[in-house]
Structure 1
Amino acid sequence: MQKRMCWLPKFGEENGQKILHLQTETQESWLPYTAFPQFSVPDHRIPGGSKGMATFQKLLKEGWEVVSSF
């Protein structure tokens, strides 16, 4: 299975800012990128920047699939 990425609200926040979530196997739940230290990189130091954007850019270059938010 191809590894996948999706922008989802942080757990427990319905109207909060979306953060990057990852899924390494189809049957697994989506988890925040911070749960995968082997794939994540430090966030950009931009005030108000998206949490996970640096990781998103890295993984996109590595061929991860982007899934629309649902």
Structure 2
Amino acid sequence: MSDIPNGGQMTWRPPGATEPALHLRLSPSEPWRSFKEFPEYALNDPPGFSEGYATFLNLLKRNWQSL
């Protein structure tokens, strides 16, 4: 997990999405992609948590921006 860049962006519902799910991008010029497409960043969620929540919290600690 130390290879995670600082300063990426996260959102729960990118434009055009119908269901909330964590999406990531490394820079504003990139398209949003499901956090599952970033296995190097994804963490397992505890039972009962929203899918992607553990990843979201970890990336927040690494100065990722929540949009």
TM-score class, shorter-chain normalisation, is: 0.7 to 0.9
AA partner of residue 42 (structure 2):
S
Count of residues in correspondence between the two structures: 61
Aligned CA RMSD, in angstroms, stands at 2.1
Q: Distance in 2 between matches of 1:2 and 1:62?
A: 7
Unaligned runs of 5+ in 1: none
When normalised by structure 1's length, the TM-score is 0.74
- 1:1-70 alignment runs, 5 A limit: 2-8=7-13, 14=18, 16=19, 18-46=20-48, 49-67=49-67
Q: Larger strand proportion, structure 1 or 2?
A: 1
AA partner of residue 50 (structure 1):
S
After TM superposition, which residue ranges in structure 1, 4 or more long, deviate above 3 angstroms? none
Question: How far 1:2 sits from its partner (Å)?
Answer: 2.5
AA partner of residue 2 (structure 1):
G
When normalised by structure 2's length, the TM-score is 0.76
Unaligned runs of 5+ in 2: 1-5
